[in-house]
Amino acid sequence: MIPAQLFCWHFMAYPHLPADFDERYESGWVTVPNALWDAEKSRGLYQEYIDQMALADRLGFDGLVLNEHHQNIYGLAPSPNLIAAALTQVTSHGKIVVLGNLLPLHMNPMRVAEEYAMLDMMSDGRIIAGFAPGGGPETFNYDVPSASSRELFWESLDLIVRAWTEDGPFTHEGKHFPLRYVNPWPKPLQKPHPPVWVPGSRSPGTLIECAKRGYCYFLSSRSHGSATGRAKDQFTQVLEDHGRKYHPFRMGILLSCYVGEDDRSAREECEEGVWYFLKNCLKGHLRTEGRQLTFGPGVPYIPTKAWRQYLETSKPGRKLLGDAENWEELEQSNSIIVGGPDTVFERLKTLIDNSEVGNLLIQFHLGNMSDDITCKSMERFATQVAPRLREYSTKIFAERFPEMEDELAAAGAAQ
């Protein structure tokens, strides 16, 4: 039987912002002045972050996760494939998940097909290929017209998977990316192709397209209230409509953890990094203060009908994760889970129990958190939380999804 898969996600935040950043700047995204970038202070920063991920691999995490963002202080990996390439050389067993390459930002999707194929060969078949259309900030950074971003995205992704699975050269008669000669060298190691993950925030379009193709749906929400379980129910239904069955490894979720020796010391140790992350990194993204660019009328990527529905079912100015004003509010969002090993285990156990999601993508490094405490938190998680979570999840997944084993075996045989 298969336990929940525990991944370590590194966002690679910029940790050297001035203490009064929040008072002085409107956003940590797109327009955040890059005069604040301190190259001298940042010497060795990428190495520190790569070392933390290499540690996660040695600690037995099932995989390492990277993502792509541009012109922001939240994540310093505009090219996650570069970091993934470095990881192929310093890790040996965990999956390397790039979640994902932002397809509408590429002039030619084949560049992504080629780089993932290289990474799959370099990692001996450990790549999980994530693809995303890019959020609101990327719209502004890279001039992706929101209204056509989904169409660009799915054409690119279908072309990439076809290029991996069908012998070339062939001609792609696409609307946005017509190509005479599709013929990538190399092709990936994994057959028929590396697993494909696609993030979404419960919009029906993405759920349907993932279900049609059998891709893993990664719920990009950072908070985990009842909506997480609802997303799973929604996906279960959509999968059924497309002749597939839900099981926990068809979905992933994102959360953050800090594990201390006990609850009190955990909070004391991580609080600075947590608030730095909430107030600075999320400003412009998941915080109403300033100007958030992630969702709204200025990034009109959802169809008009869906926008009307959103207006009819929501209130203006609802609080976002980064609006938490105190620790209690933060705890309620069930996004950043802080405590001693027992507390963290109990809360994740409940989350798995309620959501029935099998891929847990966990951020350990938050904001300006020091290397020392980040590594200690990861070590405590790996030794004192992960074994219990694996045992518990194996049991409940086996009880609730008795046919999953056969399905996964069948999928494996097909490969």
Count of residues in contact with another protein, rule CB under 8 A: 32
Sign of CA dihedral 358, 302, 315, 256: positive
Work out whether 24 is an interface residue with another protein (CB under 8 A): no
- Apex 348 CA angle, 344 and 354, nearest 5: 150
Part of the chain binding another protein (CB under 8 A), chosen from 142-150, 216-224, 334-342, 398-406: 142-150
Sequence-distant (6+) residues with CB within 8 A of 233 are none
Are the C-beta atoms of 154 and 126 separated by less than 8 Å?
no
Rounded Cα distance between 378 and 59, Å, is 8
Work out whether 140 is an interface residue with another protein (CB under 8 A): yes
**Of the residues 20, 312, 325, 372, which one makes contact with another protein according to CB under 8 A:** 312
C-beta of 221: minimal distance to another protein in Å?
Answer: 18
Distance set, CA 44 to CA 29, 105, 129, 371 (Å): 23, 28, 27, 12
Q: Which is nearer to another protein, 139 or 393 (CB)?
A: 139
Q: Which is nearer to another protein, 107 or 414 (CB)?
A: 107
Part of the chain binding another protein (CB under 8 A), chosen from 315-323, 324-332, 346-354, 381-389: 315-323
Q: Which is nearer to another protein, 18 or 145 (CB)?
A: 145
**Of the residues 33, 107, 178, 318, which one makes contact with another protein according to CB under 8 A:** 318
**Of the residues 20, 23, 40, 143, which one makes contact with another protein according to CB under 8 A:** 143
Question: Which of positions 161-180 make contact with another protein (CB under 8 A)?
Answer: none
Work out whether 288 is an interface residue with another protein (CB under 8 A): yes
- Please state, as a whole number, how many other Cβ atoms lie within 10 Å of the Cβ of residue 295: 16
Question: Which of positions 291-310 make contact with another protein (CB under 8 A)?
Answer: 291-293, 296-300, 303-304, 307-308
Work out whether 146 is an interface residue with another protein (CB under 8 A): yes
Distance set, CA 3 to CA 42, 349, 386, 407 (Å): 38, 12, 10, 15
Work out whether 88 is an interface residue with another protein (CB under 8 A): no
Q: Which is nearer to another protein, 143 or 166 (CB)?
A: 143
Distance set, CA 107 to CA 16, 176, 178, 260, 415 (Å): 33, 10, 11, 45, 31
Q: Which is nearer to another protein, 325 or 399 (CB)?
A: 325
Rounded Cα distance between 233 and 335, Å, is 20
Q: Which is nearer to another protein, 33 or 402 (CB)?
A: 33
Work out whether 103 is an interface residue with another protein (CB under 8 A): no
Q: Where are the alpha helices (DSSP H) in 242-281?
A: 263-276
**Of the residues 17, 87, 112, 144, which one makes contact with another protein according to CB under 8 A:** 144
Distance set, CA 382 to CA 6, 62, 126, 133 (Å): 9, 11, 20, 32
Are the C-beta atoms of 242 and 329 separated by less than 8 Å?
no
User: Which residues of this chain interact with another protein, rule CB under 8 A?
Assistant: 26, 136, 139-140, 143-148, 288-293, 296-300, 303-304, 307-308, 311-312, 315-318, 320
